[in-house]
Structure formats: C-alpha cells, structure tokens
C-alpha cells in the first residue's frame, strides 16, 4: 500500500504507475481518494477544535463552581452537552471517510521499480539468464503422471473419489522423493544462514489483507466457515504475519527465515493441457524463504533470494532460467519480481517452479511492521521466494532425471535423503 502522503504530493506519479500496469480503470481512484482524504482531514480538524473547546469550557466550569457561580456553570455545561452531539457526528464521519480512504488505497497498485520492463501480461516477461544446458533425450519422455504410475507412485482416481479434482495420493518411492526434496531444500536454506520455521497453517483476515490484494485473496484463499480464519496459500502469508504490529530494533535486521508448510489454493481459472496431472492442484507442500530488512538492503536481498532457488535446482542437475516479470504481470503489492523456470524435456520449454518478489514496504505498511532506527521509526521492506514446491518440482525432476530404461537417476545431493539410493526403478 502506497503512503497516502506520497500519493497526496505525487498524484501524477501514481497515475503514471497505474498506466504502466495497464489498470487505467483505477486512474479515477487517485483523485477520489485525494478528495476523501482532504475531507477526512478537515473533519478531523473540526473535531479536534471541538475537543479543544470542550476541554477549555470544562476548566471554566470548574472555576465557576469554585466561585459559587452555579447558574453560569450550568450554562457552560449545556454548551458542552450541545457540542458533544456534534463531536459524535464528526467522529463517526471521520471513521467512515478513513475507512473509504483505506479501502481505495489497498486497491491502488504499489510503485514498481524503474528497472521493471513495461508489458501487458506474462507473455511480455523478459528472460534474464539461463543456467545449465537444456537437453532433449533421444527417447520419448512420458507425461509426468505416467512416469509416476510406472512406479506405483500416484493414485489420482482414489483422490478424486475422496476429495475431488486437484488432489492426489503419492506413494512409495515417489512419495519418498517428494519428502526428500522438501528435506533437502530445508537443509539447503539452513546452510545458507536462514532460520527454519514451521508456521501456523491458518491465518486471520487482517493478516490476509495485509499480505495480498483483494483480487489475489478471492482467487486463492479458502475460508474456514464460521471462523475468522483462512487456509494459507503459501507460508509467506503466515511468516510475514509473524511480524504484525511490531517495532523491530534496527540492529536486529535482517530477519531471514525459511519455512515449511502445506498450501491450499482454489486455483480459479486454471486450465489447459498442462493443468492436468499435478501441475495445478488445490493442496501441495512447499519450502519458502522470506526476508524482513532495511529498505536500502532489499535490492541486494532480492538478488540473493532468486539465486538461492537457481542454485538449489542446479545442485539437482535441473536446467533453469530466470524471467523478469513485466509491469502488467506484477501483483499490486509487488515492486519487482523474478520467476524461476525449470526446463521440461517433454514440452521442450521452460515452466515456472518458483517466484521471487520484493514488496517494498507495502506489506509492512498494511501490517504495521516498523523498524526503530537511529533517526526514528520507519516501515521495513519484505521479500519472499519459493525454495521448492513439490509436486511441481517433481515434474522437472522426473523429466530431467529419467533414463532410457525407465529408471530415474537420483542426483548425488539428494541421495542421503533417499537412503543412499542412486536411482529408483
């Protein structure tokens, strides 16, 4: 969420940013929120004047009573009573106006970084760097669920009967491989200095609206009926929420955390050939990383975070590339974002396996995550990135490590987590 003071002083900058994100329907909101904010401040000023006058009269009443001037004191009391009704009306109006201002401010997109390429949607995202040599083997690569089924490692039919589409049973070596990848990713991040955490898997609505836009919330979150609780779509939500309404000593920064969680998503609008199988599902597990830091350090941490994911995939012999998200593909709270995509030998193209985002102070402003610095308090910057998210990562793993005889090679880094196995058959 943008600072209202910044918007008030730089309306044209905010409008230009909205245009860069191809959200022209929101342009009128800038003038609307400026007018509402002005009215709210004028209402507050009027209420403050009434409060000051009330305090002044109250002192006068005390003095009159001490002097035995009861009639004059009663007249002053009547004056206070009359102003009390007006004050209550002003306070109610002020609260309503401030609520309207906040609601609009939460729909106006964050100011993107100047380096972000301008484009309408993900088709205009820009490739940054490739890592590893993409290989297409001479033998045919089956669809990922077919590979899993050969190992008796997946049962979609039973899951469909139990929970519906978008769920699965993983079994045997495939289930073990899934857990091995998560455990390896956990230790990989611990070895890079991150603190391991298992967070709550449900969060309250004020945390949800603090970490994401209304549009994302509607498309992703499952609400617990009858309770102010939502199932998390990623542990980033719960991890950033950990710092809600806190003042962090500057010398305690940065906070670097890596978290494990199951994730639950509606996946509204998921479609197409590659949406079947376990590519887009309602439940999965994930290893995440988040950083809470000083504003001037967030660009450096952004580069470190996406590099962690690249390094992890390369340690498992999976070719990847980084893709910078263009302005139209950035969620409203994001300042800058990279996708990490893994090579698919079957599709002969890359597909997304992780996303790294710098959100500036947008989440911190919503959640009141402040830093106590030498020159006063300020809002922290927050960042997040996917370490690994099976089973999507399993698609890349199985396709890139499948051998001609149908066995799957286990890279050396993962063998300790697979009981020393060098391959699965």
Beta-carbon contacts of 396 under 8 Å, excluding residues fewer than 6 positions away, are: 313, 318, 342, 343, 344, 351, 353
**Which residue among 186, 365, 366, 392 is the active-site one?**
392
Across residues 104-121, what is the average pLDDT? Answer: 96
Tell me whether strands 320-324 and 336-344 are parallel, antiparallel or unpaired: antiparallel
Strand order in the sheet with 195-197: 126-131, 320-324, 336-344, 349-358, 381-388, 283-293, 255-264, 195-197
Q: Which two tokens mark 217?
A: 């919330």
pLDDT digits (tens, 9 = 90+) for 77-91: 776 676 778 888 888
**Which residue among 124, 267, 274, 352 is the active-site one?**
352
Residues of the chain with CATH 3.30.930.10: 122-424
DSSP 221-264: PEEPTTSS-EE-SSHHHHHHHTTTTEEEEGGGPPEEEEEEEEEE
Residue 288 CB neighbour total at 10 angstroms: 27
Instruction: Identify whether 96 is a catalytic site residue.
Output: no
Instruction: Identify whether 296 is a catalytic site residue.
Output: no
**Which residue among 54, 192, 280, 415 is the active-site one?**
280
How far is CA 207 from each of CA 167, 370, 374, rounded to the nearest angstrom? 27, 16, 28
Q: Considering the domain 4-105 in this protein, what is its CATH number?
A: 1.10.287.40
User: What pLDDT does residue 271 have?
Assistant: 46
End-to-end CA distance of the chain: 51
pLDDT digits (tens, 9 = 90+) for 310-358: 999 999 999 999 999 999 999 999 999 999 999 999 999 999 999 999 9
Predicted structure pTM score: 0.89
Residues of the chain with CATH 1.10.287.40: 4-105
Instruction: Identify whether 352 is a catalytic site residue.
Output: yes
Taking each helix axis as running N to C, give the angle between helix 27-66 and helix 70-105, from 0 to 180 degrees, rounded to the nearest 10.
160
Residue 89 CB neighbour total at 10 angstroms: 12
Instruction: Identify whether 366 is a catalytic site residue.
Output: no
Q: Which two tokens mark 94?
A: 């002020």
**Which residue among 265, 321, 365, 370 is the active-site one?**
265
Instruction: Identify whether 355 is a catalytic site residue.
Output: yes
Strand order in the sheet with 376-379: 246-249, 369-373, 376-379
User: What pLDDT does residue 67 have?
Assistant: 75
Q: Which two tokens mark 84?
A: 């009390």
Q: Which of 180, 132, 163 is nearest to 343 (CA)?
A: 132
User: What pLDDT does residue 65 have?
Assistant: 75
Is CATH 3.40.50.970 what the domain over 122-424 is classified as, yes or no?
no
What is the band of 269 on the pLDDT scale with cuts at 50, 70, 90?
low
What percent of the chain clears pLDDT 70, i.e. is strictly above it? 96
pLDDT digits (tens, 9 = 90+) for 46-99: 888 888 887 777 777 777 677 777 777 667 677 667 677 888 888 899 999 999
Tell me whether strands 376-379 and 126-131 are parallel, antiparallel or unpaired: unpaired
With beta carbons less than 8 A apart as the criterion, state whether 355 and 233 touch: no
User: What pLDDT does residue 275 have?
Assistant: 54
Cis peptide upstream of residue 254 (ω within 30 degrees of 0): yes
Taking each helix axis as running N to C, give the angle between helix 172-190 and helix 298-315, from 0 to 180 degrees, rounded to the nearest 10.
140
User: What pLDDT does residue 273 have?
Assistant: 39
Across residues 222-251, what is the average pLDDT? Answer: 95
Can you tell me the distance from the alpha carbon of 12 to that of 18, in angstroms, rounded to the nearest whole number? 10
Can you tell me the distance from the alpha carbon of 8 to that of 25, in angstroms, rounded to the nearest whole number? 19
Mean residue pLDDT across the chain: 92
């Amino acid at each position: 969420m943008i600072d209202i003071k910044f918007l008030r002083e730089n309306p044209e900058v905010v409008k230009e940013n909205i245009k860069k994100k191809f959200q022209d329907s929101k342009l009128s909101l800038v003038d609307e929120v400026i007018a509402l904010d002005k009215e709210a401040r004028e209402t507050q000023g009027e209420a403050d004047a009434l409060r000051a006058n009330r305090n002044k009269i109250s002192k006068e009443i005390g003095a009159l009573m001490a002097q035995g001037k009861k009639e004059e004191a009663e007249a002053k009391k009547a004056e206070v009573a009359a102003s009390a009704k007006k004050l209550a009306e002003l306070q109610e109006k002020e609260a309503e106006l401030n609520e309207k201002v906040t609601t609009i401010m939460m729909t106006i997109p964050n100011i993107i970084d100047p380096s972000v390429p301008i484009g309408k949607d993900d088709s205009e995202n820009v490739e940054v760097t490739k890592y590893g040599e993409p290989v297409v083997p001479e033998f045919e690569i089956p669809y990922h669920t077919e590979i899993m089924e050969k190992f008796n490692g997946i049962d979609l039919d039973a899951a469909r009967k139990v929970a519906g589409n978008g769920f699965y049973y993983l079994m045997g070596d495939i289930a073990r491989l899934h857990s091995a990848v998560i455990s390896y990713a956990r230790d990989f991040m611990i070895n890079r200095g991150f603190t391991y955490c298992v967070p709550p898997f449900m969060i309250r609505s004020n945390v949800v609206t603090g970490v994401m836009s209304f549009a994302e919330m509607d498309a992703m979150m499952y609400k617990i009926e009858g309770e102010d609780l939502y199932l998390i779509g990623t542990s980033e939500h719960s991890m950033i929420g950990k710092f809600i309404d806190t003042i962090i000593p500057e010398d305690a920064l940065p906070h670097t955390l890596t978290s494990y969680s199951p994730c639950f998503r509606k996946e509204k609008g998921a479609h197409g050939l590659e949406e079947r199988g376990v590519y887009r599902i309602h439940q999965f597990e994930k290893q995440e990383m988040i950083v809470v830091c000083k504003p001037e350090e967030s660009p450096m941490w952004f580069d470190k975070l996406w590099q962690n994911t690249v390094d992890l995939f390369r340690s498992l012999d999976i070719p990847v590339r980084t893709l910078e998200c263009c302005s139209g593909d950035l969620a409203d709270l994001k300042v800058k974002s990279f996708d990490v995509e893994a090579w698919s030998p079957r599709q002969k193209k890359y597909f997304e396996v992780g996303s790294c985002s710098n959100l500036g102070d947008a989440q911190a402003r919503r959640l009141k995550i402040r830093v106590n610095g030498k020159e006063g308090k300020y809002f922290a910057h927050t960042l997040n990135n996917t370490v690994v998210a099976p089973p999507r990562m399993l698609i890349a793993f199985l396709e890139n490590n499948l051998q001609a005889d149908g066995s799957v090679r286990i890279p050396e880094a993962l063998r300790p987590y697979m009981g020393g196995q060098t391959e699965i058959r």
